[in-house]
């Protein structure tokens, strides 16, 4: 199994606050979960409003059977569409992919 963890720092953008953009990202990622068959499990978590400002805003936690499945996910139209949105509201990104 491959664990794919991506963290984003978001900003006020698109007429929404940072937190509202986190909620919008979570809603939009549901489309990715529903449409990418290679994605075995996907979850979006939002940082607590009371947590330090230096924390990342959201994290995507994804499981794939193989690295080939992760690579297929990366180019899937639903993921690319999500990426367009995230690209417009993020200030920073960190990612790790590991086998478990």
pLDDT in tens, 19-61: 999 999 999 999 999 999 999 999 999 999 999 999 999 999 9
Q: What is the pLDDT at residue 1?
A: 98
pTM (two decimals): 0.94
pLDDT at 58: 98
Query: 25: Cβ–Cβ under 8 A, 6 or more apart, which residues?
Result: 8, 10, 44, 58, 82, 85, 86, 89
Rounded Cα distance, 45 and 58, in Å: 6
Looking at residue 11, what is its pLDDT?
97
Q: Residue 15's pLDDT is what?
A: 96
Structure tokens at 61: 């936690």
Tell me the residue length of the chain.
100
């Amino acid at each position: 199994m491959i664990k794919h963890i991506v963290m984003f720092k978001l900003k006020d953008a698109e007429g929404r606050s940072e937190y509202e953009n986190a909620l919008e990202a979570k809603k939009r990622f549901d489309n990715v979960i529903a449409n990418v068959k290679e994605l075995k499990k996907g979850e979006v978590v939002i940082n607590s409003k009371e947590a330090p400002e230096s924390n990342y805003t959201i994290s995507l936690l994804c499981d794939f059977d193989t690295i080939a499945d992760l690579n297929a996910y990366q180019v899937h139209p639903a993921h690319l569409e999500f990426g367009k949105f995230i690209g417009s509201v993020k200030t920073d990104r960190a990612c790790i992919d590991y086998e478990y």
